[in-house]
Amino acid sequence: MTRPDDPRRHAPATERNREPIAKHLVELLVGARSVLEIASGSGQHAAYFAPRLPHVRWQPSDADADNLASIDAWAREAEVTNILPAVALNTL
């Protein structure tokens, strides 16, 4: 559980699906240099995937301001240099 002043959001589905997704991403993104993640949500996936794909610059995005804050907080928690600051992006 996070503190009241912690902007990180938690999505239980991320805990369940991050490992199988990461397994496939590691195989698929062997030669990739960057990823634009559309609708990054909480940011938990970026924080989990980035250390496993250190050669990939991860660009998270979301339309929701609270999600953007959560994404950046998860990136700080991950202590990696390949997650870029989250950008506001509405694809609708």
Token pair 């995937």 is found at 49
> Domain of 81?
32-88
Domain presence at residue 19: no
Judge contact between 41 and 12, C-beta under 8 A. no
Judge contact between 44 and 74, C-beta under 8 A. yes
Region of residue 47 (left: phi > 0; alpha: psi -120 to 50; beta: else): alpha
Q: Report the pLDDT value the prediction gives residue 2, as an integer from 0 to 100.
A: 58
Domain presence at residue 62: yes
Domain presence at residue 17: no
Domain presence at residue 40: yes
Query: How many folded domains does the chain comprise?
Result: 1
Domain presence at residue 76: yes
Sign of the four-CA dihedral 77, 80, 81, 87:
negative
Q: Report the pLDDT value the prediction gives residue 92, as an integer from 0 to 100.
A: 87
Task: Give the chain's mean pLDDT.
Answer: 96
Domain presence at residue 63: yes
Q: Which of 92, 40, 44 is nearest to 65 (CA)?
A: 40
Q: Which residues of the chain have pLDDT under 50?
A: 1
